[in-house]
Chain A
Amino acid sequence: MTDSKYFTTTKKGEIFELKAELNSDKKEKKKEAVKKVIASMTVGKDVSALFPDVVNCMQTDNLELKKLVYLYLMNYAKSQPDMAIMAVNTFVKDCEDLNPLIRALAVRTMGCIRVDKITEYLCEPLRKCLKDEDPYVRKTAAVCVAKLHDINAQLVEDQGFLDTLKDLISDSNPMVVANAVAALSEIAESHPNSNLLDLNPQTINKLLTALNECTEWGQIFILDCLASYLPRDDRESQSICERVTPRLSHANSAVVLSAVKVLMKFMEMLPKDLDYYGTLLKKLAPPLVTLLSAEPELQYVALRNINLIVQKRPEILKHEMKVFFVKYNDPIYVKLEKLDIMIRLASQANIAQVLAELKEYATEVDVDFVRKAVRAIGRCAIKVEQSAERCVSTLLDLIQTKVNYVVQEAIVVIKDIFRKYPNKYESVIATLCENLDSLDEPEARAAMIWIVGEYAERIDNADELLESFLEGFHDESTQVQLQLLTAIVKLFLKKPTETQELVQQVLSLATQDSDNPDLRDRGYIYWRLLSTDPVAAKEVVLAEKPLISEETDLIEPTLLEELICHIGTLASVYHKPPSAFVEGSRGVQHKRLPPRAGSGESTESPDVGQSGPSEAPPAVIPSQGDLLGDLLNLDLAPPTATVPSVQPSMQMGAMDLLGGGLDSLLGGDIGGSPSMGAGLGAAPAAMPASLGGAPAVGGGLGDLFDLGGGVGMPTGSYVAPKTVWLLAMKAKGLEISGTFARRGGIIQMDLSLTNKAMSVMTDFAIQFNRNSFGLAPAGPLQVLTPLSPNQTIDVSLPLSTSGPVMKMEPLNNLQVAVKNNIDVFYFSCQYPLSLLFVEDGKMDRQVFLATWKDIPNDNEAQFQIKDIHLNSDVASNKLQGSNIFTIAKRTVEGQDMLYQSVKLTNGIWVLAEMRIQTGNPNYTLSIKCRAPEVCPFVYQCYELVLKN
């Protein structure tokens, strides 16, 4: 019999059967049953109901059974904290066992149980285990301190465990040292300013000694810890380097990379003229090359790191180009990374070889790889001037293949070559123009348009070419639209006579018909430039371009420095600082390289290089946000919606402006007539709104919301503006925005369905998940006509409160599924609780008084509603519109007290007392309810209603 049978039981009533087996008298049967439980747990079945029965099996001298029970406990203790206490005694007893393996097992498991009450009991056994005579127990206890710190940091500090842990750094057993170092490093990370690790030459010496003796993993912990040390001077730095270099021959790549990290960091402190500096540089290359013979996943990690190292110290690997040549059966991620490094290492000395390779790669199968290879050829041309000619001819060869994506990629890089070497290779423009039709990607189209615009005077039919692009202006991507606008303006400045019509057309398309603020703004700027001073316009638009740099995709220096300090870690794989992908306080601390030696700074106090957060320059590269967006684009969190705003008044202004502007353009009356001046005067006023000044945009949105609100407000109750709940990009083109309303006692969900896809949508249906108040659609979703592309339909869906109930987090969360002919989409939204305030919510005075007294004071919640400038009567009227009824009003010492009641659809009463002081815009609201969790949501409703 094998263990796989445990996975196959799926029949009903299993839990009961297991329960019986767990309580069986036979040991074997018990063990079998626990194995089944663990198997179910693994596949994700909820077996928490068996908790007491499993814990009962814990008192056993069978170690295998004990381990299984412990495994179960670790998984479920958190959900059953009270039951978990039952296990404490066994743990405490096991911590005293004669067998060190059992002592360690108990302390290891106990640390994994995140239940406060158990943690309290953990302290004493842990203290003993930290001083146990057996190293196996000590090394386990050391890690346990880190576990405990993760659960309750204060407790660890209060109990003095940190000091004990520090003592373990001097332990005689290397593994205990390594684990203590690991635990301390982790704890120190969450206390960036504490001097927890307290590295000094003595401790460093201990660590370096342990380094020679501990396991490969321990060596990694120690090396990673060493990397955060800052040597006092270059001599100490050198002596540490000397003791770390032997690690470069370790078979474990992680040990090698961590050693490289220490060396790269401490090298900064060595004077460059030192012999040892050169020796060290030479020693670094071979192990880095050897990493490339590891398994592919590790090769990938190594290559990402080599990419950083090559940027920081190109001299290390400059002679090793060949090892980065791509092998036929490398996985694609290794190929792409190798290519990157090849480009970085390309120089005059090896360019011929590199080009031959790249040409080879351009005929491979993988599209991404081929594209990158083509792009690499262009980058070589820019980097090594001598090779530019050969690169261009190689690119032209590739264009001849007519392979669509190769051509597009080639055109994109040729654009850069033109910029780098002006007036040299323009003869190839004709060849490029032949391929105009095959370009279907925005980047390639934009590049081609740039070329046409830039060299308009050399291309006879430039205006025809650009006009052909203009036909489908609205279907182009922003990148292409912007480029087209610029190119046509350039053309106009170069050949003003023939292209007036064209420029008018594009300006009107950009400013009038587009709702993209960037495009509109650029349109306005060009237009104003052209209308006020064409000479200046020429100087601006046709200005000499700055030379483009040889290196591309270089990592910004401060970030590079930080990443060098993170060699081997995830940060170095993502090429992002840890703060970009780690939540919480961990890793937020920026690391920096030690100050460069030889500049006299090295003798300054070591604090210079210390990673004080205030001192560290913000290591932010411009594109970081994008990258992060990329990285997190799979985030499961609901999207925060932004509504593209088109302000009506703004549009009016724009039209006005344009009329005047074009007139003047056409008439050639550049001086500007008074009427036009007025038009111009209006421009600055209108512009900020679209330029994105924060307050203006807020206003714009507010306007928009007002419009939305105005549509659905037949009764007095407040209806929030529609917000986007489901983004088109997440739902194959279906965008849903909506809001909730209560009209005449009926709850309605107002939805706007917009089809942003290319095809018609039909067969809509809607369903809700179970929710806190049993909201459910009272009828089907009435979308009778098919939704054609770019069409929006507004629907009102009546809701009932008789659906199934399940408590949600937050309370007012509603999970919705919408189906159409394409797919099913899910989103969640939150409804205002006022939706559930019923019309007969006015309580009798006497009852109110009695109930108020009856509800325990613990259930009372106090809130502040700020900045309300209404008197009590207006406020009370407003609230009544939303079924918040004022029962009584009292005035005491200039303070109005309103007593109010609300009844929810499920019969819960909420009582409130609102205090309004004349002259004070802040109201105090006390809410009492038998179900206190609704209080904050009731408060939200108050605020919403009063402020709108």
Chain B
Amino acid sequence: MIGGLFIYNHKGEVLISRVYRDDIGRNAVDAFRVNVIHARQQVRSPVTNIARTSFFHVKRSNIWLAAVTKQNVNAAMVFEFLYKMCDVMTAYFGKISEENIKNNFVLIYELLDEILDFGYPQNSETGALKTFITQQGIKGQHQTKEEQSQITSQVTGQIGWRREGIKYRRNELFLDVLESVNLLMSPQGQVLSAHVSGRVVMKSYLSGMPECKFGMNDKIVIDKQGKGGTTDEPGKSGKQSIAIDDCTFHQCVRLSKFDSERSISFIPPDGEYELMRYRTTKDIILPFRVIPLVREVGRTKLEVKVVIKSNFKPSLLAQKIEVRIPTPLNTSGVQVICMKGKAKYKASENAIVWKIKRMAGMKESQISAEIELLPTNDKKKWARPPISMNFEVPFAPSGLKVRYLKVFESKLNYSDHDVIKWVRYIGRSGIYETRC
């Protein structure tokens, strides 16, 4: 298991050092500084073995976190723990910086004592931790016996991520479906590869211990219901359902239930968290189509024409559109004409950058450019990197739809109807490229 945990600043000075196992000595602190932080080269592996001691390290801005061990530990767990440690620290005092760490070192030691015992990660959900470790010192002196046992049962309990007794005057929840759509297209418009990776982020402000059930247009569920004849909109469901390649869930979701019934049920943490991640590859709505036309006029001139077409409902607006058209290294001058937005040749980036603030669906726009080239004797042909695009659209390119999010809280007097629910879809470009 984890033998020790060190936090360093960028100079390699130790800010936090907590040793859990006898086999980790003080020299381990220095070994890491000398061999990794001061090595001044790119990190070639996130796990470094120095003198039979393994160091797992991650870097957050200027801060290094290193977990140390001499045993055959679960490596994936150590990294997950380090990320979690970062999350916990961020939840307590914001950005992870040298100043914040020094300002909160007592708190960090307390946390490290609580969430790692003899190197074994314990409950690390901030919701639970904040019930008894606070920045104003530890609670506990003035608690009643009931409060204490409530804390301990929550920390060790099945719902370690949520404390009891949360009360809101207004029960409200926000669902964000955030997708990033990735595309590689041939110059002829053939899709070489496309996938969407999506996240459902939930912000919950609900009283008590609400039982939630989340439903989306998952093909497997819809088909099952279709067979049973219980679907609300017969005939329509088949079209509107989507095939999900794979998904993972926050630990609050009952996985065995998902496995058997494919229903997503859970008691949510309080506040913001990521409910699920998913990936789809079939029937993706590609919000934009890029049609490139590159013509070489002699050896010193290139003519480029790029048309972009928006491919979604006319009532919707895409934002922050940016098209990057790469130019050869020996470009000497560029003239650009575009119908919409602004276009500029950026010599330092070897690209023409075309920006459009907004664009409605089912529209098209065009840019044409003349690129003057310096004659070179370089035999190597220009590799023609792909044209890439950035954008943001107010729908989910995978076609995912939230069908419902039901909230049940039997002990308190509010029902599903009293909860105010907000759903938002945001589709962003991931790596969205068209070869030319």
In the complex, what residue of chain B is closest to A223 when comparing beta carbons? B74
Interface size for chain A: under 10, 10 to 19, 20 to 34, or 35 or more residues? 35 or more
A453 in the interface, Cβ–Cβ < 8 Å? Answer: no
A246-B79 in contact (CB<8A): no
Which listed residue, A215, A295, A332, touches B251 by the CB 8 Å rule? A215
A471 in the interface, Cβ–Cβ < 8 Å? Answer: no
Of A267-275, A582-590, A703-711, A863-871, the one contacting chain B is A582-590
**Which of chain B's residues have a CB closer than 8 A to the CB of A251?**
248-251, 274, 276-277
Known: A42-B17, A101-B132. Is A220-B99 also a contact (CB below 8 A)? no
B339 in the interface, Cβ–Cβ < 8 Å? Answer: no
A586-B123 in contact (CB<8A): no
Which listed residue, B27, B82, B124, touches A217 by the CB 8 Å rule? B124
B402 in the interface, Cβ–Cβ < 8 Å? Answer: no
**Which of chain A's residues have a CB closer than 8 A to the CB of B69?**
570
Which listed residue, B47, B70, B117, touches A108 by the CB 8 Å rule? B117
Give the complex CA separation of A639 and B52 in angstroms.
15
In the complex, what residue of chain A is closest to B274 when comparing beta carbons? A251
A43-B70 in contact (CB<8A): no
A440 in the interface, Cβ–Cβ < 8 Å? Answer: no
Give the complex CA separation of A214 and B121 in angstroms.
12
In the complex, what residue of chain A is closest to B6 when comparing beta carbons? A42
**Which of chain A's residues have a CB closer than 8 A to the CB of B279?**
286, 289-290, 293
**Which of chain B's residues have a CB closer than 8 A to the CB of A102?**
140
Give the complex CA separation of A256 and B80 in angstroms.
11
Known: A101-B132, A212-B255, A570-B47. Is A39-B105 also a contact (CB below 8 A)? yes
Give the complex CA separation of A245 and B23 in angstroms.
36
Give the complex CA separation of A502 and B31 in angstroms.
51
A594 in the interface, Cβ–Cβ < 8 Å? Answer: no
**Which of chain B's residues have a CB closer than 8 A to the CB of A331?**
43
A816 in the interface, Cβ–Cβ < 8 Å? Answer: no
B70-A256 in contact (CB<8A): no
Known: A71-B113, A290-B246, A333-B45. Is A298-B80 also a contact (CB below 8 A)? yes
A253-B80 in contact (CB<8A): yes
Of A629-637, A694-702, A787-795, the one contacting chain B is A629-637
**Which of chain B's residues have a CB closer than 8 A to the CB of A108?**
113, 117
In the complex, what residue of chain B is closest to A147 when comparing beta carbons? B118
A246-B258 in contact (CB<8A): yes
B290 in the interface, Cβ–Cβ < 8 Å? Answer: no
In the complex, what residue of chain A is closest to B247 when comparing beta carbons? A249
Known: A175-B123, A322-B193. Is A220-B251 also a contact (CB below 8 A)? no
- Nearest chain A CB to B157 CB, angstrom units: 7
Q: Which of B17, B75, B245 has the most CB of A within 10 A?
A: B75
In the complex, what residue of chain B is closest to A290 when comparing beta carbons? B246
A221 in the interface, Cβ–Cβ < 8 Å? Answer: yes
B259-A249 in contact (CB<8A): yes
- Nearest chain A CB to B64 CB, angstrom units: 12
Instruction: Tell me the B92-127 residues at the A interface (CB within 8 Å).
Output: 99, 102-106, 109-110, 113, 117-118, 120-125
B298 in the interface, Cβ–Cβ < 8 Å? Answer: no
Instruction: Tell me the A261-320 residues at the B interface (CB within 8 Å).
Output: 286-287, 289-290, 293, 295-298, 300-302
A610 in the interface, Cβ–Cβ < 8 Å? Answer: no
B79-A298 in contact (CB<8A): yes
Which listed residue, A42, A44, A63, A295, touches B16 by the CB 8 Å rule? A42
Which listed residue, B22, B143, B248, B276, touches A256 by the CB 8 Å rule? B248
B190 in the interface, Cβ–Cβ < 8 Å? Answer: no
- Nearest chain A CB to B129 CB, angstrom units: 12
Which listed residue, B45, B72, B80, B102, touches A571 by the CB 8 Å rule? B72
B246-A289 in contact (CB<8A): yes
**Which of chain B's residues have a CB closer than 8 A to the CB of A289?**
245-246, 279
A247-B72 in contact (CB<8A): no
B15 in the interface, Cβ–Cβ < 8 Å? Answer: yes
- Nearest chain B CB to A675 CB, angstrom units: 57
Of A424-432, A572-580, A770-778, the one contacting chain B is A572-580
In the complex, what residue of chain B is closest to A179 when comparing beta carbons? B120
A68 in the interface, Cβ–Cβ < 8 Å? Answer: yes
Which listed residue, B17, B51, B110, B149, touches A67 by the CB 8 Å rule? B110
Which listed residue, B14, B118, B124, B140, touches A44 by the CB 8 Å rule? B14
The 0/1 profile, CB within 8 Å of B marked 1, for residues 506-523 of chain A is 000000000000000000
Q: Which of A135, A139, A216, A631 has the most CB of B within 10 A?
A: A216
Give the complex CA separation of A581 and B54 in angstroms.
9
A143-B118 in contact (CB<8A): yes
A146-B77 in contact (CB<8A): no
- Nearest chain A CB to B147 CB, angstrom units: 10
The 0/1 profile, CB within 8 Å of B marked 1, for residues 36-80 of chain A is 001100111000000000000000011110011011000100000
Give the complex CA separation of A656 and B206 in angstroms.
95
**Which of chain B's residues have a CB closer than 8 A to the CB of A173?**
156-157
B35-A586 in contact (CB<8A): no
B169 in the interface, Cβ–Cβ < 8 Å? Answer: no
A550 in the interface, Cβ–Cβ < 8 Å? Answer: no
The 0/1 profile, CB within 8 Å of A marked 1, for residues 1-22 of chain B is 1000000000001111101111
Which listed residue, A216, A257, A574, touches B49 by the CB 8 Å rule? A574
Which listed residue, B82, B105, B245, B256, touches A212 by the CB 8 Å rule? B256
The 0/1 profile, CB within 8 Å of A marked 1, for residues 149-168 of chain B is 10111011110100000000
- Nearest chain A CB to B100 CB, angstrom units: 9
B46-A297 in contact (CB<8A): yes
A2-B54 in contact (CB<8A): no
**Which of chain A's residues have a CB closer than 8 A to the CB of B118?**
111-112, 143-144, 146-147
A332-B46 in contact (CB<8A): no
B254 in the interface, Cβ–Cβ < 8 Å? Answer: yes
A896 in the interface, Cβ–Cβ < 8 Å? Answer: no
Give the complex CA separation of A552 and B26 in angstroms.
41
Which listed residue, A38, A99, A215, touches B140 by the CB 8 Å rule? A99
In the complex, what residue of chain A is closest to B246 when comparing beta carbons? A286
A755 in the interface, Cβ–Cβ < 8 Å? Answer: no
Give the complex CA separation of A213 and B158 in angstroms.
5
Which listed residue, B49, B82, B143, B253, touches A581 by the CB 8 Å rule? B49
Give the complex CA separation of A101 and B149 in angstroms.
9
- Nearest chain B CB to A265 CB, angstrom units: 15
B76-A298 in contact (CB<8A): yes
Give the complex CA separation of A217 and B85 in angstroms.
13
B255-A247 in contact (CB<8A): yes
B234 in the interface, Cβ–Cβ < 8 Å? Answer: no
B50 in the interface, Cβ–Cβ < 8 Å? Answer: yes
B75-A569 in contact (CB<8A): yes
**Which of chain B's residues have a CB closer than 8 A to the CB of A290?**
246-248, 277, 279
- Nearest chain B CB to A144 CB, angstrom units: 8
Instruction: Tell me the A180-215 residues at the B interface (CB within 8 Å).
Output: 182, 186, 212-215
**Which of chain B's residues have a CB closer than 8 A to the CB of A114?**
22
Give the complex CA separation of A7 and B98 in angstroms.
12
In the complex, what residue of chain A is closest to B99 when comparing beta carbons? A4
Which listed residue, A144, A566, A636, touches B72 by the CB 8 Å rule? A566
In the complex, what residue of chain B is closest to A353 when comparing beta carbons? B192
In the complex, what residue of chain A is closest to B29 when comparing beta carbons? A44
Give the complex CA separation of A674 and B215 in angstroms.
96
Which listed residue, A62, A71, A254, A571, touches B76 by the CB 8 Å rule? A254
**Which of chain A's residues have a CB closer than 8 A to the CB of B151?**
101, 136
B277-A182 in contact (CB<8A): no
Known: A38-B106, A111-B118, A581-B54. Is A570-B73 also a contact (CB below 8 A)? yes
Please list 28 pairs of residues, one from A and one from B, whose beta carbons are closer than 8 Å in the complex, sorted by A's number. Answer: A4-B103, A44-B17, A63-B138, A71-B113, A99-B140, A101-B140, A136-B155, A140-B117, A143-B118, A173-B157, A179-B117, A215-B122, A217-B124, A220-B77, A249-B258, A251-B248, A253-B76, A253-B80, A258-B77, A287-B246, A297-B58, A331-B43, A568-B75, A569-B73, A634-B35, A634-B50, A636-B51, A637-B51
Other 12 A-B pairs with CB < 8 A, given A254-B79, A257-B74: A7-B102, A42-B15, A99-B140, A139-B122, A140-B117, A179-B120, A186-B1, A254-B77, A295-B79, A297-B46, A302-B76, A333-B44
In the A-B complex, the 6 residue pairs with the smallest Cβ-Cβ separation, listed nearest first, are A286-B246, A136-B152, A4-B102, A254-B76, A246-B259, A578-B72
